[in-house]
Structure 1
Amino acid sequence: MRTSIATVCLSGTLEEKLHACAQAGFDGVEIFEQDLLVSPHSPAEIRALAAELGLSLDLYQPFRDFEGVDEELLADNLYRAEAKFRLMRELGMDLMLLCSNVGTATIDDDETAAAQLRTLGDLAARYGIRIAYEALAWGKFVNDFEHACRLVELADHPNVGTCLDSFHILSRGWDPAGIEKIPAEKIFFVQLADAPQLSMDILSWSRHYRVFPGEGAWELDKFLGHLVRSGYTGPVSLEIFNDVFRQADEVRTAVDAMRSLIWLAERTWVHLQQTDGPDAHYPMELATLPQVPEPTGFNFAEVKAESTKKLQTLLGQLGFACRGRHRTKPVQLWTQGRARIIINGQQARNQEPAIAALGFDVADPVRAASRAMQLKAAPVPRQSQADEEVLQAVSAPDTTEVFLCQGTPDGTAAWTREFGRPADAAAPAGRELISHVDHVNLAQPWQHFDESVLFYESTLALSPSPSTEVPSPVGLVRSQVMRTRDGAVRLALNIAPLVMEKPGPSSESAYPQHIAFACTDVIALARDAVGRGLEFLKIPANYYADLQARFRLAPELLATLQELNLLYDRDQHGEFLHFYTATVGSVFFEVVERRNGYDGYGAPNAPVRLAAQYLLTKQG
């Protein structure tokens, strides 16, 4: 599959965009006219730069408001088109995008529109240029891709074909199955975009909220499957209008874009194998990746900090035991059940406690790492001694290090043998009631949220749940849970209001992150923790009055919940009891007990937690 991307997707100058696309591994680019017009470089210089970078110049776009006009305006439009054809020859380009008329069309007649397209085709042929006619979803008379194809058929000109754009097709709810009926030689170009499902006018939706494949709500693997069946073999390009992408680093955005196409190609291949059978063959080649099953659990979570005393105290109060220091690094291991917390003091000068890494149990770490790196994930350099476990790791978009660890049936981890100096180890702090890590909540920079969703879905095979918005005292917090089907791994990605960003160039979020531990008896653990001096996040009395009104709890249970600052939720399956610790740096811990198949996260309680944490920050 030949890959391409429109320069409108990226920030920066045209020259910077071309370098970013080449660095990300694209085969070619679409030149968005505005990018060329504001460039200080001549068309010949842009052509030379693209050749030097190994990029083909696939499409010049857009040319607007041509067909369905009177004869006087048609003459003006042809004059305009010929100027663009001369420019395209300087660029060495032979394909121009023509959008269906939005603003100047006055004649709603297919024969007239087709005749005018034929006239344009005659002019384009003199310059060795082809026209890809695209139905805009808000076109005045032509807004349906099948209607556009009928006009191309009526025009009956070898230099006039169609451009298919997934946004214009799917946003209007058109059935893309009709793509398979279009002669492949008449599909001149294809543009892809995903989008969240929104209720708004299509033009605003298109101009501001398109995202890369896998970051929205549409089944683009099925869309691309129809295209593959048609016999099309040309470029598959991304055309994304998105306010966030146009403000982000162009190289990073280009890498995210390329990851989305690699992932989509694989998803399409899987879809075609399932629907058409393993013996089906098509002219378009779809590259595949090493297949990996879902992770089977969290292997560990790592918190990095210069000062670790508060973290050690907090973990001890929760019943964790220190298993000792690493034999060559300033790193501690704390465990309870299968829950492992690493406290890392390496390269942590002046750093407040923050989640730095997550380990996931996978069937084949080397294969999983290979897949991640083929999806453009950056490997994490790690120094290891000769007798130490070699761990595979890549960096997530928010810089969290993702370790791919060998999963074992008994939940053990070979790397733990590197810890355990007798002088450093401590006895367990009473009975062990925590069994494993239930879920982890990570704050995401606003400009990389969609990138993170795609990263975890494509590299770790985690599935996104519907996103939610949680009210906080300073605005809405958007939350997206990524999880395995069995719930063994649950990863909540949160994007906090901009007011919660720390000042500075990194746009680091001040929104707290947390690790949630699964517990067999949260009331017993809470009482044990109180005995060890743990101070819980204080929950207001108003919450418990509302709780009683909603659930009619037994008076004894309600009193216990309020006494221990526990929170409660219930659904059709079961009950959920949980509590939160105070925040240290940007990290706090949650302990949860799921009863009788409860599968949520206590969502109604999230605003209560956010308000309580906000109050603490205001108090000092």
Structure 2
Amino acid sequence: MNPRIGNIEGFGLDTISLAGSLSAKLTAVRDAGFGQLMLSARDLTTHPEGVDAAIAAVRASGLRVTGFQVLRDFEGLEGHLRDYKVDVAKSMLELCAAVRAPVLLVCSSTSKHASADLDVIAADLRQLAMLAVPLGLKIAYEALSWGRTVSDFPMAWDVVMRADAPNLGLGLDSFHLFATQTPMDGIDELDPRRIFLVQLADFMWQEVRSIEERIATARHFRVFPGEGVHSDQVAELVTRLDRLGYRGDYSFEVFNDDYQQMPPATVAARALRSAIWLGETVLQRSVPLPGRIRLRRPG
């Protein structure tokens, strides 16, 4: 760990943001000074020495796992499609528990085969939450901006409330919020105890003019907060959440083809600059101890 920086509390890095092997990613995140990271299932399943070795590497890294992703197109299905996705969900929940991640991220369905009935969607998410209970896990439901039915966080929140499961909450992603130009006033209506994860990213243009461009931007052209043209909006989002009472984790989820051609340490350093900007400038956190940046209030 970088002795000049120390452990950064509250902010972490998503492994999707980095190129290279799992070992290289773990080293880059830790050496940059972060104490946590968000894992993808592929980090484990593509490890050359197998899943068990990948799990052991994560545990040995000393990094806290913020969450685990991502279960897609789960809700609203019937018959054999539903059974198939339940099996997939069980496998992902087991991996999530194995790396001691507290939260499994679930994205709203894009499937044309899925029901658009919000009560059906809520019932399926309630079932998923029940499957997670024996493992001590939470489910964070995130609205994809190109979701078939649920495409913004107010609608995702409606579904979470309909499901009424204590371990089912909301996952917020700044990219989707900005891409759809969803008003942020709705943040103030959320229960901070039911926000289980916040993922942060920016992008380089003011607006996306089509669904196709939105998807391409999301998957290839995100940048870290403070690097894009939505810095004011990122700052407002984090400030609103802090004022609301959210004291959970923030993860930088930055899909960027250019970053995939850069050394993981270089990209992790860019993420560190974002954490310092958000924690020390936007949230006006002080440094309580020499060499230690504290970005989150206790409690």
Query: Common fold, TM-score beyond 0.5?
Result: yes
| Residue matched to 1:238 | 252
What residue identity is the alignment partner of 1:109? D
Contact 1:262/1:287, CA 8 A, preserved across alignment: no
Q: Which residue of 2 aligns with 1:217?
A: 229
Match for residue 203 of structure 1 among 194, 215, 219:
215
Equivalence for 1:88: 96
**SS of 1:30's equivalent?**
strand
Cα deviation code 1:61-80 (max 9, x no counterpart) = 11100112224422221111
Correspondence for 1:174: 182
The amino acid across from 1:33 in the alignment is A
Aligned residues: 278
Q: Determine the structure 2 residue equivalent to 1:7.
A: 15
Identify the residue that residue 58 of structure 2 maps to in structure 1. Answer: 50
Q: Give the aligned partner of residue 149 of structure 1.
A: 157
- 1:166 alignment partner AA: S
Q: Partners in 2 of 1:288 and 1:153 — Cα distance?
A: 38
Q: Distance in 2 between matches of 1:266 and 1:147?
A: 32
Do the aligned partners of residues 60 and 151 (structure 1) sit closer, same or farther apart at CA in structure 2, a change above 3 Å counting? same
Please give the residue correspondences for 1:478-489 in structure 2 after superposition, counting only pairs within 5 Å: none
Distance across 2 between alignment mates of 1:262 and 1:168: 23
Whether the 8 Å contact between 1:134 and 1:162 is mirrored in structure 2 is yes
For residues 8 and 254 of structure 1, the distance between their equivalents in structure 2, rounded to whole angstroms, comes to 11
2:202–2:224 Cα contact (<8 Å) kept: yes
State the alpha-carbon separation in 2 of the partners of residues 122 and 175 from structure 1.
32
- Are residues 96 and 287 of structure 1, via their aligned partners in 2, closer, same or farther at CA, if it must alter by over 3 Å? farther
Task: State the distance in 1 between where 2:162 and 2:133 align.
Answer: 17
What code does the residue aligned with 1:254 have? A
Instruction: Report the aligned-residue RMSD.
Output: 2.1
Is contact 2:122-2:163 (8 Å) kept?
Answer: yes
The question of whether the paired residues in 2 share the 8 Å contact of 1:43 and 1:90 is answered with no
Cα displacement (A) at 1:53: 2.9
Shift of 1:288: 5.8
Residues 221 and 265 in structure 1, CA contact (< 8 A), matched pair in contact too: no
Who is 2:82 aligned against? 74
Does the C-alpha gap of structure 1 residues 45 and 92 become closer, same or farther in structure 2, counting only changes over 3 Å? farther
2:35 matched to 1:27?
A: yes
Higher gyration radius (CA): 1
Q: Deviations over 1:89-146 (max 9, x none)?
A: 3222231110000125431111111011111111111222211100001101110101
Alignment of 1:81-480 (within 5 A): 81-197=89-205, 198-200=207-209, 201-218=213-230, 219=232, 220-270=234-284, 286-287=285-286
Deviation, structure 1 residue 51: 3.7
Using a 3 Å threshold, how does the CA distance of structure 1 residues 263 and 119 change in structure 2: closer, same or farther? same
Q: CA deviation at 1:22?
A: 0.1
The structure that is helix-richer by fraction is 2
Contact 1:7-1:29 at 8 Å conserved across structures: yes
Q: Is the 8 A contact 2:43 2:54 kept in 1?
A: no
Rounded to whole Å, the distance in 2 between the matches of 1:168 and 1:15 is 30
Would the alpha carbon gap of residues 267 and 105 (structure 1) be closer, same or farther in structure 2, given more than 3 Å must change? farther
Question: Deviation string for 1:310-356 (max 9, x for gaps)?
Answer: xxxxxxxxxxxxxxxxxxxxxxxxxxxxxxxxxxxxxxxxxxxxxxx
Alpha-carbon distance in structure 2 between the residues aligned to 1:239 and 1:193? 6
For 1:498-577, what aligned pairs fall within 5 Å after superposition?
none
Distance 1:105 1:146 in 2: 23
Q: Secondary structure at the match of 1:123?
A: helix
Instruction: Please state whether the residue corresponding to 2:20 is helix, strand or coil.
Output: coil
Q: Distance in 2 between matches of 1:85 and 1:207?
A: 24
Residues of 1 paired with 2:176 and 2:236: CA distance? 16
Secondary structure of residue in 1 paired with 2:165: coil
- Taking the aligned partners of 2:54 and 2:43, their CA distance within structure 1 comes to 11
> Structure 1's 120 and 111: CA in aligned 2 closer, same or farther, altered over 3 A?
same
Residues 27, 180 of structure 1: CA spacing in aligned structure 2 closer, same or farther, 3 A cutoff? farther
Residues 41, 68 of structure 2: 8 Å contact kept: yes
Q: Is the 8 A contact 1:209 1:243 kept in 2?
A: yes
SS in 1 for 2:88: helix
CA displacement at 1:42 relative to structure 2 = 4.0
User: Which of 40, 44, 48 is the equivalent residue of 1:36?
Assistant: 44
Distance 2:51 2:161 in 1: 33
Q: Is this contact kept in 1: 2:59–2:99, CA < 8 A?
A: no
Q: Aligned pair in 2 of structure 1 residues 199, 78: CA closer, same or farther (>3 Å)?
A: closer
Alpha-carbon contact 1:170-1:176 (below 8 Å) kept: no
- Percent same amino acid among aligned pairs? 35
Contact in 1 for aligned 2:126/2:168 (Cα 8 Å): yes
The answer (yes or no) to whether the contact 1:5–1:28 under 8 Å persists in 2 is yes
Mapped to 1, the partners of 2:60 and 2:77 lie a distance apart of: 42
Q: Which structure features the higher share of strand residues? A: 1
> Does structure 2 retain, via aligned residues, the 8 Å contact 1:68–1:112?
yes
Tell me which residue corresponds to 1:321.
none
Looking at structure 1, the residues matched to 98 and 182 of structure 2 have their Cα atoms a distance apart, in angstroms, of: 38
Distance change >3 Å, CA 38–CA 166, structure 1 → 2: same
User: Structure 1: 5+ residue runs without aligned partners?
Assistant: 271-285, 290-369, 375-620
Q: 1:199 to 1:186 in 2, by over 3 A?
A: closer
Q: Matched residue of 2:281: which SS?
A: helix
Cα 1:52–1:36 shift into 2, 3 Å: closer
Counterparts of 1:227 and 1:154 in 2: how far apart (Å)? 22
TM-score, length basis structure 2: 0.87
Structure 2 portions without partners, runs of 5+: 1-8, 294-299
Deviation (angstroms), 1:190? 0.5
Q: Which residue of 1 is the match for residue 5 of structure 2?
A: none
**Distance (Å, rounded) in 1 between the aligned partners of 2:54 and 2:107:** 24
Deviations along 1:144-186, whole A, 9 cap, x unmatched? Answer: 1010011001100011111000001111000123112211111
Q: Distance in 2 between matches of 1:47 and 1:2?
A: 23
